[in-house]
Amino acid sequence: MGDLSRGRLVLRRFLRKKVAVGGLIVLVLLALFAFIGPQFTHWGYRSTDYNAFLQRPSRQHYFGTTQIGQDVYAQTLRGLQKSLVIGLLTALLSTGLAAVVGACAGYFGGWTDRVLMWFVDLLLVLPSFLIIAILSPTFRGKTWLIFVLLLALFSWQITARVVRSLSLSLKEQEFVQAARFMGVPPRKIIFRHLLPNMSSLLIIDATLNVGGAILAETGLSYFGFGVQPPDVSLGTLIAAGTRSAITFPWLFLFSGGALIITVLAVSVIGDGLRDALDPNSASSIKE
């Protein structure tokens, strides 16, 4: 009952954040548009209309066509699909890894803590963009999931340090000490007692990581180090349309607009969740 009442309280606080609710609605509509929208056209993102090169938006091609007659509408929706999936998977993987590593380091302490934090510090000083760019040719033509793993690998270190600090404090609490004296295995203590008490932090972190991962994917794909042809993402579409942004704006406008709206929506959702979950926030004080 306690968890249920807290969930209702958090939901009520979140619903009071009109901007955050608006962001959630926009994000849901974008996701539905990305995955259902292709059903409203018979053009695929790889299809070519040899009778329509650089055609303006029309009934035949809702967002116009590219230099080689490909449908911009179909490509934009495919790119939005890919960017959303990559952002979501990267956020889940990076937040999950941060939670496990940080909690283990804080709970076990000693050599476990020192080794894990040394690894975290090592990854923090490595230039992630450069490393992914160097490794990019090795997974060219292979599954894009490798790209997701590389993005997640360099996205969890700061959160892991925060989780470690919280774990150092939580492991001294009476309910954790009682579980240890009762012989509860460390694995169960970490996943049943430590991590659930950090759920607010992890939820906010995962939400904000979605936007960060989408921006990282877009930047890497823009320079040719992310999603590879013949597949597309918002980054590859923006890169392809940049040179013609003024003369043929539809090549750039729709993919660029989708990126801005998506990241902005995720950002305001994250802010709303932070205020709703934080008992010291302004909205909580008004309760």
172-218 pLDDT per residue, tens: 888 888 888 888 898 999 988 888 888 888 988 898 899 999 999 88
pLDDT band at 159 (very low <50, low <70, confident <90, very high): very high
Of 27-31, 106-110, 133-137, 240-244, the poorest mean pLDDT is in 133-137
Contact (Cβ atoms closer than 8 angstroms) between residue 77 and residue 34: yes
State the pLDDT at residue 280.
Answer: 57
What span, in angstroms and rounded, lies between the C-alpha atoms of 26 and 20?
Answer: 10
State the pLDDT at residue 281.
Answer: 53
**Sequence-ordered list of residues with C-beta below 8 angstroms from that of 62, at least 6 positions apart, any chain:** 41, 73
Location of structure tokens 């938006």: 57
Residue type present at position 66: T
pTM of the model: 0.86
Helix locations, the chain, DSSP H: 2-16, 18-36, 72-108, 110-125, 128-135, 145-153, 157-170, 174-181, 186-189, 199-222, 234-242, 250-277, 282-285
Residue type present at position 104: C
Location of structure tokens 């802010």: 271
Q: Among residues 219, 229, 235, which one has the least CA distance to residue 133?
A: 219
State the pLDDT at residue 76.
Answer: 95
Span between the terminal Cα atoms of the chain, in Å: 19
pLDDT band at 115 (very low <50, low <70, confident <90, very high): very high
How many other β-carbons are positioned within 10 Å of the β-carbon of residue 137? 11
What span, in angstroms and rounded, lies between the C-alpha atoms of 77 and 38?
Answer: 7
What span, in angstroms and rounded, lies between the C-alpha atoms of 189 and 112?
Answer: 16
What span, in angstroms and rounded, lies between the C-alpha atoms of 70 and 52?
Answer: 8
In the predicted structure, residue 126 carries a pLDDT above the cut 90: no
- Reading the block at residue 197, the tokens are 């008490």
How many other β-carbons are positioned within 10 Å of the β-carbon of residue 59? 5
How many other β-carbons are positioned within 10 Å of the β-carbon of residue 92? 16
Contact (Cβ atoms closer than 8 angstroms) between residue 214 and residue 83: yes
What are the φ and ψ backbone dihedral angles of 243, each rounded to 5 degrees? -65, -25
Of 12-16, 91-95, 169-173, 226-230, the poorest mean pLDDT is in 226-230
